[in-house]
Amino acid sequence: MNIFEQVWSWLTDPDNWTRSINGPGIPYHVLKHLQYTGVAILIAALIAVPLGIYIGHTGRGSFLVVGIANSFRAIPELGLLILLVLAMGIALAVEAVTIALVSLAIPPLLAGTYAGIRNVDRDVVDAARGMGMREWDVVWRVELPIALPLILGGLRAATLQVIATASIAAFVSLDGLGRFVIDGRAFGADGGYAMMAGGAVLIAALAIAVELVLAGVQRLAVSPGLQTRRMRRRVARVWAQPKLITAEESS
Amino acid sequence: MKRVLAGVATAVVAALTMTACGGSSDPLSNNPPAQGGATSGPVAKPDKIIIGSANFPESALLAEIYAGALQKKGITIEKKLNIGNRETYYPGLSDGSIDLVPEYTGVLLQHINKSATETSPDEVYEALKKALPANLTVLDKSSAEDKDAIVVTKETADRLNLKSIEDLKPHASQMIFGGPPELPRRADGFPGFKKNYDIEFKEFKALDAGGPLTVNALKTNVVQAADIFTTDPAITVNNFVVLEDPKSNFAAQNVVPLINASKASDEVKQVLNQISAKLTTEKLIELNGKLSAPDKPDAAKVAADWLASAGIS
Amino acid sequence: MRWVLDHAGELLDTTWEHLGLALIPVLVGLLISVPLGWAAHRWRAARAILVPASSLLYTIPSLALFVLMPLLLGTRILDPLNVQAALTIYTVALLVRSVADALDAVPGETIAAATAVGYGAVRRFFAVELPLSLPVLIAGVRVAAVSNISLVSVGAIIGVGGLGFYLTHGSQLSPPNYAEIVAGLVLIVVLALVVDALLVVLGRWLTPWTRARGRVVTA
């Protein structure tokens, strides 16, 4: 049996889908994986979105965005996790994993929010102010809805990365789909590699599934006026640039 | 442009299909072709020996000891330390990546022959010599041993009156056990606990193989019993209790050099056997303790110091 | 701290090694991604396949891909090629989309003008579209480079990890060698930031026209 056949038979083995002597089944680990991801994304969003709105709306501290996004992206998550767990103790493994995953999720969320707010048409913002809206209303009722595609784009990018990386939790005795990757590697050639590859396939499949759900959420949440082909092309062009050159910054 | 693109697309598709067909030659196979001439006639002194080690401090230390001693004999040494686990480095002995690696008799035997049942030092050693393929050989075994062991904290041992693994029987079902990820499936892991002692633990936590995570988990009661290696200085430092293994669930694990037969010249054998003779379990614990000292000296230094004090020439 | 000073030379050597492991895949990945990205830009059908496929590739956990590489490639276990091949896959996964978006970002009017002036398709691509897509492309390359530098460290688990070695090696003793772990972490982050900054400088040098003032998004 070559490796592909072995993986297929591992994935279709009913023993692996129910709680058996091999431990909790695949569904349990999928849920745990989603739990680690969800908590990390939530916390990262609570930090990054308000920060991105503030910096994007006021234009102050934009160097922070680039600085944070770049340096956090440079941190190797596995290394950070090892350091945190050693320092904090294995009893706090979940907290350590969360910190590591949050550091991974903040850059895309921050960049997306900042880009979204920053690229709202200045004329629209002026018009809103001209209509008598207070600053808070301008943000909440005008800038945010228009920025939503880019913010959600950041959310999708962050979620994708976190789902791929949440496998590191298994390194420090936790659960999640990474369990199959780590255990499979430990078991070695005797059925282990099939488990490892199977785990990798499941992580990828989970990422696709979540991505489809979020794409659906985006379709529902974003105002129809922003979903024309022209607006989508415009959004795509902005999203492709992590550092935005505006008239003020480009000197 | 279209043609370039078609070419690229074909190449990509071809590469992807080739990976699908690539499964037949398994570079990780445990059955390398035998290299003839290993047992016929003396082996010439090798110009160079590549020494590998597994990915944990004691293995690197032993490799450094071998390296230091062989270098004194005038043999060029290339070190490839901290390669990974046995699955990763064992095939390297047959494809030329490495020539020599420090091993432990019991686990090595298990790796080659999964159904091996020997547990005493001599039995394991003899079975190992028989099980090795023709191109690999082990030299003399040392009395120094580093075995897996079930370890508990002193508080746990006092509270539950634990001296040997047998004493765990009434308590194991309420205890969480910590160890390396493969332990639940390894023959001397959970299956062995059940078979030899009729023990089943409540839960398993996959940690590092006897490393700081495991020590920390045991200390902070995240696990109540753990698999820690007998030469780990953390056992004495933290006052852990090693439970006795009367039924020999864990086979003998004598330190032994595993070497490609084509490199096992007389000089090499003499040096490595001398090391094996001088090494003891207590010494190994002491050397590991030196590695863990606050200033974290290099394994090479600790090895060199010991070689000098042991008078290995 | 003493440990860091004692091992300064070794740390430096490993940093070079780490750089090679991370950046060669960026180059190779870029070469592969440009034609693929162009295909995605040119044909809707290609985009519909390539972009999701590359997102998919990116979600494969690096540890799994590193360990499985010898099986897939037939290489020896300790071969750095395992890590580099895996990182090339991740780079392509990142850059295909980047190239496609970069080419999309070239204003239609400019392409039309180039055609009107008499550029043939191939010459137009290399002389007009590719240069104009450079800002976005460089941005993608920056992300790929930083990401690779971070991912190489995971290879330490299969023995080819560059600076990642210090992360795993330092965490094996009880008590751990915190100086070693932190040194490894800090060097990786610093290396990534330095490479990122160099790429920014390279990007600016290659695209003198972007230093003019202007807004980023036009209709």
- What pLDDT digit, counting tens, does each position of C166-188 carry? 998 899 888 899 999 999 999 99
Mean pLDDT to the nearest integer, C85-111: 89
Looking at beta carbons, which residues of chain B come within 8 Å of C121? 1
Q: Yes or no: say if B151 and B228 are a contact pair by the CB < 8 Å rule.
A: yes
Contacts of B296 (CB under 8 A, 6+ apart): C3, C173, C177, C179, C180
The rounded distance, in Å, linking the Cα atoms of B250 and C119 is 76
Higher pLDDT, A22 or C90: C90
CATH class of A3-250: mainly alpha
Please report the pLDDT score of residue A232 as a whole number: 67
Q: Which residues of chain A have pLDDT under 50?
A: 242-251
Quote the pLDDT of residue B1.
Answer: 42
**ipTM associated with this complex:** 0.83
For residue A25, give both structure tokens. 């089944």
What does the pLDDT look like over C12-59, one tens digit per residue?
A: 999 999 999 999 999 999 999 999 998 888 888 888 888 888 888 888
Q: Listing from the earlier edge strand, what are the strands of the sheet with B148-152?
A: B203-206, B176-179, B225-229, B148-152, B241-242
Contacts of residue A86 in chain C, CB cutoff 8 Å? 171, 176, 178, 181
| A18 three-class SS | coil
The answer to whether residue A129 neighbours chain C at the CB level (below 8 Å) is: no
Query: What does DSSP assign to residue B117?
Result: -
Give A94-97's long-range contacts (Cβ < 8 A, gap of 24+). Answer: A94/A36, A94/A174, A96/A172, A97/A36, A97/A40, A97/A166, A97/A168, A97/A169, A97/A172, A97/A174
pLDDT bucket at B17, cuts 50 / 70 / 90: very low
| H helix intervals, C118-177 | 121-124, 130-152, 164-170
More confident residue, B153 or B56: B153
Computed from CA positions of residues B143, B90, B215, B124, in that sequence, does the dihedral angle turn out positive or negative?
negative
Cβ B303 vs Cβ B309: under 8 Å: no
Token pair recorded at residue B136:
């690999």
- Domain borders along chain A are 3-250
On the CB side of B62, how many CA atoms lie within 13 Å of its CA? 34
pLDDT at B33: 42
Whole-angstrom distance, CA of residue B23 vs CA of residue C169:
32
For A97-118, what is each residue's pLDDT tens digit? 999 999 999 999 998 898 888 8
CB neighbours of residue A230 within 10 Å: 9
**Chain A CB within 8 Å of residue B205 CB:** yes
Residue contact B213–A187, C-beta within 8 A? no
Strand-pair partners of B49: B77
Q: Who contacts B282 (Cβ-Cβ below 8 Å, separation ≥6)?
A: none
Chain C contact set for A76 (CB, 8 A): 150-151, 153-154, 164, 167, 185, 188
Q: What are phi and psi of B115, to 5 degrees?
A: -100, 15
Nearest residue, CB atoms, C177 vs list B1, B26, B296: B296
Q: Determine contact, residues B8/C36, Cβ cutoff 8 Å.
A: yes
Is residue B138 exposed (0-12), middle (13-18) or buried (19+ Cβ within 10 Å)? buried
Whole-number CA gyration radius for chain C: 20
Q: What are phi and psi of B22, to 5 degrees?
A: -75, -5
C158 and B CB contact within 8 Å: yes
In order of B3, B185, C7, C59, the CA distances from B114 in angstroms are 54, 12, 41, 35
The pLDDT, as a whole number, for residue A210 is: 93
| Gap between the Cα atoms of B194 and A61, Å rounded | 62
Residues B73-84: tens digit of each pLDDT: 889 999 988 887
Q: Does B36 contact A at CB distance below 8 Å?
A: no
Alpha helices by DSSP H, chain B: 2-21, 57-72, 86-89, 105-112, 121-131, 154-160, 190-197, 212-219, 233-237, 266-278, 281-291, 299-310
Question: What mean pLDDT is reported for chain B?
Answer: 85
Judge contact between C219 and C198, C-beta under 8 A. Answer: no
Q: What letter would DSSP give residue A23?
A: B
What residues pair up with A54 in beta bridges, in sequence order? none
pLDDT at residue B21, rounded to an integer:
38
Q: Which residues pair with B244 in a beta bridge?
A: B164
